[in-house]
Structure 1
Amino acid sequence: MKIFKKTGLAFIFLLIFWILVFDFQRILFSIHNLPKLSDSSFWDWIQVFFHSIRLDIAMGSYLSAVPIIFILSYIVFKKKFLFIIFKVVLITELLLVAMIHAGEINAYGEWNHKLTSRVFMHLGNPDEVFRTADYSMTFWFIFYLILEVAFGWKIMKWLFKKDRFTVLKSQLWVKIVLFIPVLPLLIGFYFIFARGGLQQIPINIDAAYFSKKYIVNDISVNSPYFFGKSYLLFKRSNIGEFLSNYEEEEIEELLSDFLTYEKKHDNYILENTSPNLVFVILESWTSTISNRLSGKPGGTPEFDKLSKEGVLFTNIYSTGSTSEIGNSSIFSGYPALPEISISMQPFKHRKLKSLNQSLKPRGYTAGYLFSGDLKYGNIDSYFTDHGFERIQDESDFPKNLQKGKLNYYDEDLFQIFLEKINRQEQPFIECAFTGSTHSPYDFPGHEKSNWKGEEKSFMNSVIYADQCLSDFIESTKKQDWHKNTLFVIVADHGHASPYVSNPNDSEFYRIPLLLYGPALKDSARGMVIDKVGSQADIAQTLMYQMKVDTGNDYPWSKDLLNPNVPEFALHTTTRGFGWVTPKGQFTFHLDYQRYVENTFDPDVLSVERKRCNAFMQLLYEQYEEL
């Protein structure tokens, strides 16, 4: 019968509609990010359109469940308004999908991964989105949004012509059959398709993975499906279901070296126990931009010179990929858990100690200066809650200074930072957070390209920032407070570089850490520490050197100068986590429950995975109790 034929046609056409939209989006993404595909063959790219089908059908089924109700209603009742509602629903869904994808195209160049729950943090401060994006990104977002909606509109008009689904005559019993058993049956089929079939384990993102090149897999994975999974995890307050459930005895056995290692040692590198502390937190400085740390041509010759006069840590990893996570790890010795940013949860981070609080009894005061807006990531709240006396950002900069789209330039930041330090009584903790190495990289002279090739905008900003750092250090040597000062120079997180661009690679998260300045003993100058650690280990390392009895204030922070310290680093990735030890490293994806990267030998991997699980379980249990 015609009415059943048209019903089946609507069911199939909705899936075809979404598959065509998703494939069109892949083509646009590939064109926009063509340089990133230079290492991939045309055959790799063609395979995307085959390996993506299962996830496309799954996502298309989710999106078709509501429209099928209205188009079936039109087929049965022949009311024009029902067909109009069908189109409105479909266009609304199309607009949302296009917004996700247009945003992903723009974000991918900076993030090197698909759009995730991270966007919700930024959308909490809409002006950040526009200030971080340059004008071309805004243009391309609107351009791709219009193009994708226009394409979808044309396909919709082609597939869903009203006459194609108009039945002139239909008997009452047919209408009853369609609405009582058939409609629920069709929606049921959609949900079966959405879970990938009747198998015990539903379909997941790994269904679209087939290549060893992460960008090819990222193109293959359906964007709204990935975004939806990320959103669900973002909304979850409990990620415990992803973690292990070891008994206390097993945890003690797996982490015996971390829980019981001898904490006392006499490896001191400071001239005295109360130096001024000057933190310079470098936006996005990944270790691979330094020739000293990577052995490859880099953009930080001045930092490399400084590193030969200080204590350089070569195997330090950021705990996450955003600035607010990096700051809380540095100052509170707190590692990161997947999809959790503790600075966004004041009721929890207030229960953590921070370095300034540990040093306050000694008369230290603390200041923090950022060249942008500190409300991003709730950074301002974090430092306010932890008792920093002076917290200043772009609103405190002189209005006559030139400014980039996102922040004031590093050269001006350091000039103002120096002036503020000069007004402080010793001892103090003073912190500057740079910004010129953040997109859109509109530092002075950005139009002059000293670095060619991959990540040239970022690398040119690094060259500029490196000189600004050097100039600042030189200027401090003229100040009275300099002779009793320890500079702690560290990045907030990693970034794609000409050598490492895969955010699933632990090397992406390796960052520089340098202790520098007159407060160091002569015997410590030029020292290189190769032990594996993270930003979270800075707190305990400094506190032990300053002979501060911290008790159990920094339970997750390790003293990297302790000869007995166990070597490991936990870091989060996009939708997962990574674990690094001297024996190797792995990254694991939460969604498709698989190793994305692994360099451990098979017999070692099992043990290290258990150790990582045990560490995260302990950390999460404490997080839940905060």
Structure 2
Amino acid sequence: MKIFKKLGLAYLSFLAFWILVFDFQRILFSIHNYPKIADVSSLEWIQVFFHSIRIDLSTGSFLSAVPLLLISCFLCFNKKIFFTLFKAVMFIELVMVAMIHAGEINAYGEWNHKLTSRVFMHLSHPDEVFRTADYSMTLWFMVYFILEFTFGGLILQKFFRIGKFKIKNVPISSKIVLFLPILPLLLGFYFVLGRGGFQQIPLNIDSAYFSKKYVINDIAVNSPYFFGKSFLLYNRSNIGEFLSDYSESEINELLNDFLTYEKKHEHYILENTTPNLVFVILESWTSTVSSKLSGKPGVTEELDKLSEEGVLFTNLYATGSTSEIGNASIFSGYPALPEISISMQPFKHRKLKSINQSIASRGYTSGYLFSGDLKYGNINSYFTDHGFNRVQDESDFPEGLEKGKLNYYDEALFELFLEKLNKQEEPFLEGAFTGSTHSPYDFPGHNKEKWTGKETNFMNSVIYADQCLADFIEEAKQQDWYENTLFVIVADHGHASPYVTNPNDSEMYRIPLLLYGPALKDDAKGMIIDKVGSQADIAQTLMYQMKVDTGDDYPWSKDLLNPNVPEFALHATTRGFGWVTPKGKFTYHLDYQKYIVNTFEKEVLEQERKRCNALMQMVYEEYEDL
């Protein structure tokens, strides 16, 4: 009976150990990110610790399987090596769990979502992690890691003292006979707990969701479970398993308007078809920073002024949430799919066309300048592989300039960018990618009234960047090439703002797009385009205005100046996708197969979901063939 008692003690101790570790992490998370839960009642916060139990038991079961085998071997053979191995495995697991959560607890303030498999992309360049994080984030990572590891180590020592699991005066043969039936049974119980019970559909992330506040739901799901689910999806080579399987006739019926609409029109807004193209890619500028776009107090006074003399697109959406996805969408008219980053796969993205390639035959040269390191997200490779004549980043900036932790300040970027532009023969396509509005927001400062309240650092960085953009435009007006130039000012992706913090809300992905400059016809200046579209539509919109025959080069890009164009935007979210039309919007989560946000009327939702699925299926099938 001692054997059953001690083995049962070990079984229950493992589960109790992991539940305590996860609950300790929740407490630390709540303290560190208190501003995000300040409006949450104490009762709702306490409920987290009850609603989380099923997922905690599931995670604890998976983490406990190997340690249970090792401690069983110690109970049976009484060899210290098994207990040592058991402790080693537990400490390794504790290190991994603590690192995942210590990273998440810091990143959450910036990302507003839990740590996902996309971290592997960043970890391929470790210096990016440390440069993106400010010094306090690095310090807090170490503090939380040490706290969590120390807490777990103390509990481990208390629960699993070697003396508790020694069985004396029982022959090994008797132990083996008793272990043979009981150990598989206990492991079977772990398996049942791991899948959440005997029900047909296994446990999933939504099992812990109970609140209307996404932050509370995120706290309820322990970090290794969420991260593990993300990794399983990240590791799949066939995301198509999650997508629809419509026949060709079904797709043609669902997307008839997109596939057959009249492409030709006479709505031209350019003075001529060969303007200089100057792209300004704004890091993280979400539409809600602009009063003009959101109707709420904003911080882009200068951009709003420029929009009065340009063509402003008010319903444009980023295709994803990272810079490499945004750049590929802008220049190649390529949409985003869940968990897929085309720029990270050179063997595929090289088969896409880009704007500079479409206009190269007209004598255009092309360049791209970033104030940070372009190896992140394989952005350098993307632009180099697509034939940009000059791709430069922080390594090409002159020595002696002041810079932030992640990149040179926007004022330095625009100063160098202007020098580059002045040396180019016309016509040219040039792009500058800003960086001061990226965490850690260590911009040099500004003289305007500072933003106070939520997202203070980000909003103040936008004020600074907005002034830098205006100063650059003013300097550009003094140059000879300015008179035949079209500025394409657009964000790479959105960001949390004082008005939108939910990373699963399509509003987080709405971004500004402004066409500005003397290349515009006078009657186009001040125009507002409210058609729903995405970054992927910029390419075809520009190419049509320039009367470039693109053929089938941009199959997913729509001309947003076409009066006949169907209005929709597809975007990838964290672990899911979103769909926006004039009728509404929804975001859908792949893991727990539910709508996170939905504003479509019930009778419209089913049809819009089918249309979204059909488009994703088409994009994915082409992606597979690249």
Q: TM-score range by the shorter chain?
A: over 0.9
Report the residue type matching 2:315 in the other structure: N
Shift of 1:74: 1.3
Aligned-partner Cα distance in 2 for 1:102–1:448: 36
> Tell me, what secondary structure is at the counterpart of 1:550?
coil
Alignment of 1:134 with 2:137, yes or no, is no
| Residue 185 of structure 1: how far off its partner (Å) | 1.9
TM-score, normalised via structure 1 length: 0.99
Question: After superposition, where does 1:216-615 map in structure 2 within 5 Å?
Answer: 216-445=216-445, 450-615=450-615
For the Cα contact (< 8 Å) 2:76–2:176, is it kept in 1?
A: no
**Alpha-carbon deviations, 1:553-607, whole Å to 9, x = none?**
0000000000000000000000000000000000000000000000000000000
Q: Is contact 1:410-1:465 (8 Å) kept?
A: yes
Whether the 8 Å contact between 2:3 and 2:175 is mirrored in structure 1 is: no
Q: Cα offset for 1:514?
A: 0.3
Q: Name 2:40's counterpart in structure 1.
A: 40
Corresponding residue for residue 167 of structure 1: 167
Letter in 2 for 1:406: L
TM-superposed CA distance for 1:76, in Å, is 1.6
Q: What is the aligned partner in structure 2 of residue 79 from structure 1?
A: 79
Match of 2:53 in 1: 53
User: d(CA) in 1 for partners of 2:170 and 2:29?
Assistant: 45
Separation (CA, whole Å) in 2 of partners of 1:610 and 1:127: 42
Matches of 2:447 and 2:571 in 1, distance apart? 35
Give the Cα–Cα distance (whole angstroms) in 2 for the partners of residues 93 and 557 of structure 1: 46
Aligned to 1:202: 202
- SS at structure 1 position matched to 2:369: strand
Are the equivalent residues in 1 in contact too, given 2:343–2:349 (CA < 8 A)? yes
User: Contact 1:449–1:460 at 8 Å: present in 2 too?
Assistant: no
Q: Which runs of 5+ in 2 are unaligned?
A: none
- Note if contact 2:76-2:172 (Cα within 8 Å) is conserved in structure 1: no
Rounded to whole Å, the distance in 1 between the matches of 2:567 and 2:426 is 35
**AA at the equivalent of 2:10:** A
Contact 1:343 1:378 in 2 (8 A): yes
The whole-number CA distance in structure 2 between the counterparts of 1:342 and 1:537 is 17
Identity between Structure 1 and Structure 2 (%): 76
Confirm or deny: 8 A CA contact 1:449 1:456 kept in the other structure: no
Q: Which amino acid in the other structure matches residue 388 of structure 1?
A: F
Deviations 1:461-516 (A, max 9, x none): 00000000000000000001000000000000000000001100000000000000
Task: Tell me the secondary structure at the aligned position of residue 65 of structure 1.
Answer: helix
Q: CA deviation at 1:448?
A: 9.5
SS in 1 for 2:270: coil
Q: What per-residue deviation string (whole Å, max 9, x for no partner) do you get for residues 109-143 of structure 1?
A: 11000000111110010010011111100000000
**Partner-residue secondary structure (3-state), 2:288:** helix
The alpha carbon displacement at 1:83 in A equals 1.4
Tell whether the 8 Å contact from 1:483 to 1:519 is kept in structure 2 after alignment.
yes
Deviation at 1:172, TM superposition (A): 4.0
Runs of 4+ in structure 1 deviating by more than 6 angstroms, as ranges, are 446-449
Q: Aligned partners of 1:237, 1:40: CA distance in 2, in Å?
A: 40
Code of the aligned partner of 1:187: L
Q: Kindly indicate whether the alpha-carbon contact (under 8 Å) linking 2:446 and 2:463 is maintained by their aligned counterparts in 1.
A: no
1:332 to 1:296, Cα distance in 2 relative to 1, 3 A: same
CA distance in 2, matches of 1:435, 1:593: 35
Aligned residues: 626
Shift in Å, 1:268: 0.5
User: 3-state DSSP class of the match of 1:270?
Assistant: coil
Cα distance in 1 between the residues matched to 2:391 and 2:446: 29
Name the CA distance, whole Å, in 2 between partners of 1:39 and 1:256.
46
TM-score norm. by structure 2 comes to 0.99
Alpha-carbon distance, 1:73 to partner: 1.2
Asked whether the equivalents of residues 74 and 80 of structure 2 are also in contact (C-alpha less than 8 Å), the reply is yes
Q: 1:445 offset after TM fit, Å?
A: 2.2
In the TM superposition, residue 447 of structure 1 has moved relative to its aligned partner by 11
User: Once the 2 structures are TM-superposed, how far is the Cα of residue 191 of structure 1 from its aligned partner?
Assistant: 1.2
1:335 to partner: Cα distance: 0.2
8 Å contact from structure 1 (residues 374, 380) kept in 2: yes
Task: Quote the Cα distance in structure 2 between the aligned partners of 1:608 and 1:360.
Answer: 38
What does the per-residue CA deviation read over 1:383-431, in whole Å, with 9 as the maximum and x for residues that have no partner?
A: 0000000100000001110111000000010000000000000000000
Rounded to whole Å, the distance in 2 between the matches of 1:178 and 1:490 is 69
Deviates more, 1:159-168 or 1:578-587: 159-168
Unaligned runs of at least 5 residues, structure 1: none
Are the aligned partners of 1:244 and 1:613 in contact in 2 as well (CA < 8 Å)?
Answer: yes
1:173 offset after TM fit, Å?
4.5
Partners of 2:105 and 2:153 in 1: CA distance: 20
Q: Is the 8 A contact 1:437 1:461 kept in 2?
A: yes
Distance 2:485 2:63 in 1: 60
2:573 corresponds to which letter in structure 1?
T
CA distance in 1, matches of 2:11, 2:211: 32
Which position in structure 1 is the counterpart of 2:99?
Answer: 99
Amino acid at match of 2:187: I
Q: Which amino acid counterpart does residue 375 of structure 1 have in structure 2?
A: K
What residue identity is the alignment partner of 1:185?
L
TM-fit CA distance, 1:453: 1.0
Q: CA separation in 2, counterparts of 1:278 and 1:524?
A: 18
- Structure 2: distance between partners of 1:302 and 1:507: 22
Once the two structures are overlaid, the 10-residue window that deviates more, 169-178 or 42-51, is 169-178
